[in-house]
Structure 1
Amino acid sequence: MKLIWKKTDSFQDTKKWQNWFKCQDYTEITNIQRFAGSDEWRYPNEEEAWSLFDLGNKNTDKYGDEIYLHSIFGPGSGGTTWTIEEKDSSALVVQYEDGVKVWPSKYANMNMCVRLVRNLT
């Protein structure tokens, strides 16, 4: 399936770190506003989020640290993304500085954001 990624993540758009629940609000607002003419923006799944990690593509996060995310996304991102994958009170996060997948509490917000995706229709 072909995907379209939002070029900015929730941190770049709001200038705030957000827990998993606040990122749901961000997603809902993005859809209400019909960003790029669509109301089908969503959290990526694990495979989709991890597919953006690429050691051949260097970028920088909001701190100026190196991350491995294609330059089409532009510098200054949060460097992570929440995913739709849930396990009890945790949700999967993909980190683009090292490709590590972690399961923080959905209430965690330090250095947390989401990069939205939608299916190409």
Structure 2
Amino acid sequence: MEEQVRKKCKFIDNGDGTVSDAVHGLMWLKRDTWLEKGRLITWHESQEFARELNQRKFAGYSNWRIPTASEAKLLFDPEVTNTDMEGCEIHLDYVFTEGCGFTTWTSESRGAKAAMGYDLRSDFEFWLAKENDGFPSAVRLVRNIVLERDPDAPPRIVDNKDGTLTDNDTGLMWKANDSFIELDKWVSWSEGKTWIKTLNDSQFAGHTDWRMPTRKEVQSIYDPSHSVTDNYGETVYLPEGFTAGSGLTCWTKTLHKTDLSLAIRFQFYNGDYKWHKIGLRSHGVRAVRTNRPKKGSPEGEN
């Protein structure tokens, strides 16, 4: 199945230093950091490179980022060959500039010290220390191709001036600050539930139906077109209007069907989600509620 997806992938040279993958809605840099800098770089240098390109709006865009591991895999095609920095065969479409690095950093992290790299010679994933100068990597940045919003449409996120935000696209109301901003610590899944209970007990913003989001709900506020900084100064992707300084991740109410010790946590730095033990104090949580209209008021709550 994965091989079939790859075969459908068509890369288009946009003539401005970028390459589009219209099948998956992605745009890649035509040249990686090896070609740009003449050296391999650490994971944190990759983040800085993305910030630099976003500041100068390379090719007109400001949402360049490190690819996820699954996105990096979309570059690999066993039926095509290119040439890497060492003159070796690399399975990367020839639309990309030859002489590039044969690996790329990904946004997949293992704690604060390690990140995943991906090898385009052999379709291989591996872990590297983020600051290991002895085994650095290149990176090929990517961005999501985002459709322009109708300028006459109302703003997506509305600040209700009471510590809440309304998402006009989904009808959901979110607490503007997540648990990390409020508590200044990571929480387990149960502690996240307890924090939300305190919001309901205190009738935060006049409501008593705050809850943990589902995976799909929290995924709906992942916005690769808009970046803010998290509590450690790293880049996360949330719609305009959400507060900077929040956690990288968010617990969801989605529990594993056969193992109730696992719940999904969502990652705002790359849009991925994974199963995690609910007892781990390693994530934040965002409180959400369904914004129901008041009786006799079809316009909904203010």
TM over 0.5: yes
TM-score, length basis structure 2: 0.39
Letter in 2 for 1:4: M
Task: Return the offset for 1:43.
Answer: 0.5
- Given candidates 250, 257, 273, the residue that maps to 1:101 is 273
Gaps of 5+ in 2: 1-169, 293-302
- Given candidates 199, 203, 210, the residue that maps to 1:30 is 199
Distance 2:219 2:248 in 1: 12
TM-score, length basis structure 1: 0.96
Task: Return the offset for 1:73.
Answer: 1.3
SS in 2 for 1:114: coil
Structure 1 equivalent of residue 232 of structure 2: 63
Letter in 2 for 1:47: K
1:92 correspondence with 2:264:
yes
Task: Return the offset for 1:71.
Answer: 3.3
Bigger helix share: 1
SS in 2 for 1:93: strand
Distance 2:181 2:238 in 1: 15
Distance 1:93 1:108 in 2: 11
Gaps of 5+ in 1: none
Structure 1 equivalent of residue 210 of structure 2: 41
Structure 2 equivalent of residue 116 of structure 1: 287
Distance 2:185 2:234 in 1: 18
Letter in 2 for 1:43: M
Number of aligned pairs?
120
1:3 correspondence with 2:172:
yes
Task: Return the offset for 1:46.
Answer: 1.1
- Relative contact order, higher structure (CA 8 A, sep 6+): 1
Structure 2 equivalent of residue 73 of structure 1: 242
* Deviation readout 1:45-80 (Å, 9 max, x if unpaired): 111010111110101100000011123111100121
* Deviation readout 1:20-47 (Å, 9 max, x if unpaired): 0000110100100111000100000111
SS in 2 for 1:103: strand
RMSD: 0.9
SS in 1 for 2:241: helix
Distance 1:21 1:62 in 2: 22
Bigger Cα Rg: 2
